[in-house]
Amino acid sequence: MGLLEHRRGLVFGVANDRSIACYVAKSLAAEGATCGFPYLPGEKNERRVRRALNDAGFADPWMLPCDATKDDDLDATFAATKERFDTIDFAVHSIAYADRAYLKPGKFTETPRDVFAQALDISAYSLVAMANRAKELMPKGGSIIAMTYFGSQKAIPGYNVMGVSKAALEASARYLALELGDHGIRVNTVSAGPLRTLSSMAVGGIDEIFEWVAGKSPLHRNIETEEVGKTAVYLLSDLSSGVTGENLFVDAGYNIVGL
């Protein structure tokens, strides 16, 4: 018996075979979970997401086009999910976006209003919008996780407006945890160390971050994406039944080091 046998839910954020969401989905499926995959609409993206999921072992993945900035898309996604699954047990938020022109060391002060608002909307508000709809499909409780990064807590050169967005995401998760606890729904964030994905490649100076983490973290290495997948299994299963509102670092211990 897998830890997530008979559990169903949505995994937002697969873009390609490197996406954290892809590894998370693989780990969840290995424990018996059934997943639906909302993805950013677009023909090219659809093909890429399908290929990544096929390669990850999902022969015929259930995919739903959903731009997280659009309430209508989110409504349609959760309506289709209700129709297919009736109720769900988990939701994974693994989406973020900021204009890469402002993800460079020295560029934060120049962040325009629309770039700031868009980053916050896609990367943080979307969790609130998602949780509000997910709770209707979780009558017996559930577990929601969102992916974050240490740049929420410390100023990391180049992470800029994404760091501000991650701070909002983590605070949103705490407020959601407080309110949704009444419904038996847990909400946690996973703070992953740097990984080579489409999104992280947009951050200026990322190679230096990889080197620094490998040199200074207690485990003397960067993490593997599978390690985020394993943590997702913990947070979405009964193993973590007493845990909510937490921010769990999967970063080879880097965050505890002060030099």
Site residues (CB under 6 A) for ligand NAD?
13-15, 19-21, 40, 67-69, 94-97, 122, 147-149, 192, 194-195, 197-200
C-alpha radius of gyration, the chain, whole number: 17
Residue 3 C-beta: closest distance to ligand NAD, Å:
22
Question: Looking at beta carbons only, is 2 or 65 nearer to ligand NAD?
Answer: 65
Question: Looking at beta carbons only, is 88 or 95 nearer to ligand NAD?
Answer: 95
Select which of 23, 149, 234, 254 is catalytic.
149
Residue 1 C-beta: closest distance to ligand NAD, Å:
29
Q: What is the DSSP string of 139-178?
A: TT-EEEEEEE-GGGTS--TTTHHHHHHHHHHHHHHHHHHH
Question: Looking at beta carbons only, is 142 or 151 nearer to ligand NAD?
Answer: 151
Active site residue 234: no
Rounded Cα gap, residues 114 and 156, in angstroms: 22
Q: How distant, in Å, are the alpha carbons of 159, 163, 185 from that of 151? A: 6, 5, 27
Residue 117 C-beta: closest distance to ligand NAD, Å:
13
Residue 140 C-beta: closest distance to ligand NAD, Å:
27
Question: Looking at beta carbons only, is 214 or 241 nearer to ligand NAD?
Answer: 214
| Residue 61: both structure tokens together | 């993945």
| Torsion, CA 150, CA 153, CA 154, CA 160, rounded to 10 | 80
Rounded Cα gap, residues 230 and 227, in angstroms: 5
Question: Looking at beta carbons only, is 142 or 150 nearer to ligand NAD?
Answer: 150
Residue 195 C-beta: closest distance to ligand NAD, Å:
4
Active site residue 149: yes
In eight-state DSSP terms, residue 250 is: E
Question: Looking at beta carbons only, is 33 or 223 nearer to ligand NAD?
Answer: 223
φ, ψ for residue 131 (rounded to 5)? -65, -35
Residue 202 C-beta: closest distance to ligand NAD, Å:
8
Is 214 exposed, middle or buried, given 0-12, 13-18 or 19+ CB atoms closer than 10 A? middle
Helices (H), the chain: 20-30, 43-55, 71-85, 113-120, 126-134, 160-180, 206-216, 225-236
Coil/strand/helix, residue 90? strand
Q: Could you give the residue numbers annotated as active site?
A: 149, 159
